[in-house]
Chains A and B, each alone.
Chain A
Amino acid sequence: MMGPDLTWYLAVSAFLFGIGALGVMLRRSPLIVLLSLEIMLNGANLALITFSRHHGELDGQVFALAVMAVAASEVVVGLGLIVAVHRRRLELDVDKLSTLRG
């Protein structure tokens, strides 16, 4: 296998996932939260593809493609929601959007 060692790929993947997770948990703007989610998904994708290459099989790559499709749909819905929230002249802050509180 060419290129760096498997560990490096996984390290990058974990790093991406960690950045994303922190972003989701710490940032308040829904737009950034959505971006961070994408980063998490891509971190996971990277791990899938790494192992797929490592084992020389294609199924990990197929999974990654499926995840991308799901991620794209999710972004569509998420952005749509953000636009809707904005249209109603609400503040774009996930902490203030808490009407679903029990």
Chain B
Amino acid sequence: MIAAAWLCLLSPLGATLAITLGGTRWSRRGAGYVATLSVAVSFVASAIAFFSMLGNASEDRSHLSTAWTWLSAGNFDVGLTVLVDPLSILMMLIVSGVGALIVGYSIGYMDGDDEERRYFAYMALFVFSMLLLVQAGNLLLLLVGWGLVGLCSYLLIGHHHDRPQAVAAAKKAFIMNALGDATMALAFFLLIQRTGSLSFASAFDWSGGAEGSWAVNLVALGLLGGAVAKSAQLPLQTWLPDAMEGPTPVSALIHAATMVTAGVYLLVRTAPIFEHAGRVQDLAAGLGAATLLLAGLIALVQVDIKRVIAYSTMSQIGYMFLGAGLGAYANSMFHLMTHAFFKALLFLAAGIVIHALAGEQDMRRMGGLRRYLPRTYWAFLVGGLALTGIPPLSGFFSKDSVLASALAAGTYGQILFVAGLAGTFLTGLYTFRMLFIVFGGEPSPYAQEHFHRPDRSEPWLWMGLTVGALTVLAVIGGWLQIAGVWHPLADFLKPAVEPLVEPSGTQDFLASLGAVALGLAGIAVAWAIYSARTLTVPTARSARTLLEHKFYFDELYDAVFYRPSALLARGLRDFVEGPLVLGSLTGIAFGARRLAGEVTALQTGLVRTYALAIAGSVTLLALVFVWVK
């Protein structure tokens, strides 16, 4: 089991190194094969680890394995340690499984790109970073994975580095994430000061003894800051839609397998700390609820197909935060898993659409693609229905179990439950708005002109097969756990995290009923507006502008953070750097040059004056010696 876990971790890293060091000795497609193979090996290894773990008794399912001591300072030791327990195994399976499908899809999608090798090296590195994050056996190693994930997202979002928007988006993602990294690092400093260690066990023990103290609250707040930044929740959500500048499979990887799910994982992994800082945990749930509503509303007016899906990710991660914040850890992880399936499916299907339309992402130019891409349409429909939570697709089981947990979690939970229900309506609306605009109706002039049909060549085959596999997963993924009937996933996760709320059968039923009804209502409204055209979009100009400007978050941050700091920087340049720093430097140089000018005057070129100077000096020295003696 342990060996399989290490293999799972190191295989993508090996691929990264091989592709990077091999350089042009790899053929372009060869690099893709190596990357896909390495991630597939990871998946097989994590499956082996999973099955051998099933053979152990449920108390004996958490194993730490230390390769060597990585850092040692005084009595503070950090080892290169992996933790294999049900939670990390589940994440490993999701990350490597969905990751392998997405990397395989990229072989087709990136075919003909100029820098395929670099792309695949980074993709494998991305998967490695995420695996390091979920397998980390202590908090420091988790932070390493955390930072590497941020780095890889930067590298991949900026893959088209000749496009200024892509570069700007990459920087934005990196800076936003660095903010979260910083708050996490601060929390770790506090932990080291309190416990002298960064192992999970000591941190959890300490938080138990310091329940509700300001230190626990601060640590939890710092962790929450990291989770919020990585998972693009309020108030650090603005980087995620811009990250759509990256190639589509990168978006899929960021949204489904790696990166944004890391925040949810962190909330669940460090749940004991959050449980002892109750208000911070409530805050996490509240932020999730706020984000899911906000993102759902913004998604209604987006015209870029990938951005709609990006906002739906924010919204779904909001559900996971809601669940994890209320203590429904298993349900939250369950939603994470099904979300990985259908979100990867939606992105990859959208990638086929974009590819078939020569790179067009604007939905207003699409339309009627159902006729051109029937199989993609079905895949997209399955993804959309799963996202909306229509039974018997995967999203239904997981989202409704999160909502049922909210219903069971007291008054606060019930308020958030209402927000979550409203979110399901929005989900149905924006998902099917996208579906009807892109696939419904008559083919648009643009589509007629630019469409090129997928053929049976190898690139299209890769794309078609991976999307097919994800379609199957999006359909059956939810059957792993059916509320009230059977719950192997929750049982499996129980040794790692004990849920705080258990919804009753009635609550499950109520939540499902409400969510499905509202989801269907959302679909119906979308149908009425965008397909049947019996309804028109209400022309509330101010509301529309508000949504199109994404609630003015970018403008707000621009005004609050960017402008003052730019002003400060300019002031420092004009009043400190210019006169003081540069001035002192030119002063020193000028002074030295003038001094040199004075000294050169001593050099007359007359040999006899030199001789006289020497003789005089020697005489003087002799006199001094004699006199001193």
Point out residues on A near B: beta carbons under 8 Å: 21, 24-26, 28, 33, 94-95, 97-102
Contacts and interface: CB of A to CB of B under 8 A. Distances in A.
A102 B600 contact: yes
B606 A25 contact: no
A98 B606 contact: yes
Contacts, number: 36
A25 B612 contact: yes
Nearest to B612: A25
Going nearest first, the 7 A-B pairs with the smallest beta carbon separation are: A98-B605, A101-B605, A102-B600, A102-B603, A94-B607, A24-B611, A100-B605
A101 B600 CA distance: 8
A21 B619 CA distance: 12
Interface of B: 599-608, 611-612, 615
Contact of B608 (A95, A100, A101, A102): A95
Contacts of B605: 97-102
B619 to A, nearest CB: 10
A102 B607 contact: no
A77 to B, nearest CB: 15
B603 A21 contact: no
Which residue among B601, B606, B607, B615 has the maximum number of chain A CB atoms within 10 Å of its CB?
B607
A94 B608 contact: yes
Contacts of B603: 100-102
Contacts of B611: 21, 24-25
Contacts of B604: 98, 101-102
Nearest to B608: A25
18 contacts: A21-B615, A24-B611, A25-B608, A25-B611, A26-B608, A33-B607, A94-B606, A95-B606, A95-B608, A97-B605, A98-B605, A98-B606, A99-B605, A100-B605, A102-B599, A102-B600, A102-B601, A102-B603
A26 B602 CA distance: 20
Contacts of A33: 607
Given A95-B607, A101-B604, 19 more contacts: A21-B615, A24-B608, A24-B611, A25-B608, A25-B611, A25-B615, A26-B608, A28-B608, A94-B606, A94-B607, A95-B606, A97-B605, A97-B607, A98-B605, A99-B605, A100-B603, A101-B605, A101-B606, A102-B605
A54 B607 CA distance: 37
B515 to A, nearest CB: 91
B410 to A, nearest CB: 90
A98 B604 CA distance: 7
A51 to B, nearest CB: 17
Contacts of B612: 25
Contacts of A21: 611, 615
Nearest to A22: B615
A97 B611 CA distance: 15
A82 to B, nearest CB: 13
A69 to B, nearest CB: 22
B189 to A, nearest CB: 59
A39 to B, nearest CB: 14
B437 to A, nearest CB: 83
Contacts of B599: 102
A98 B610 CA distance: 12
A21 B613 CA distance: 12
Contacts of A102: 599-605
A28 B417 CA distance: 108
A26 B606 CA distance: 12
B626 to A, nearest CB: 15
Nearest to B599: A102
Nearest to A21: B615
Contacts of B600: 102
A100 B602 CA distance: 12
A32 to B, nearest CB: 12
Which residue among A98, A99, A102 has the maximum number of chain B CB atoms within 10 Å of its CB?
A102
Contacts of A98: 604-606
Nearest to A27: B608
A66 to B, nearest CB: 21
Nearest to A26: B608
Contacts of B607: 33, 94-95, 97
A93 B111 CA distance: 83
B171 to A, nearest CB: 54
B262 to A, nearest CB: 68
A48 to B, nearest CB: 17
A102 B599 CA distance: 8
Contacts of B601: 102
A21 B615 CA distance: 8
A102 to B, nearest CB: 3
Contacts of A24: 608, 611
A94 B604 CA distance: 12
B179 to A, nearest CB: 59
Nearest to B596: A102
Nearest to A23: B611
A74 B372 CA distance: 98
A25 B602 CA distance: 18
A62 B42 CA distance: 83
B121 to A, nearest CB: 60
Contacts of A99: 605
A40 B32 CA distance: 85
A24 B606 CA distance: 12
Contacts of A94: 606-608
Which residue among B599, B600, B611, B612 has the maximum number of chain A CB atoms within 10 Å of its CB?
B611
Contacts of A28: 608
A24 B609 CA distance: 10
B498 to A, nearest CB: 86
A100 B605 CA distance: 5
A26 B608 CA distance: 7
A24 B600 CA distance: 24
A102 B605 CA distance: 7
B31 to A, nearest CB: 64
Nearest to B615: A21
B138 to A, nearest CB: 67
A100 B609 CA distance: 13
A28 B603 CA distance: 18
A94 B605 CA distance: 9
Nearest to B597: A102
B616 to A, nearest CB: 10
Contacts of B615: 21, 25
Nearest to A24: B611
Which residue among B603, B604, B608 has the maximum number of chain A CB atoms within 10 Å of its CB?
B608
Contacts of A95: 606-608
A98 B607 CA distance: 8
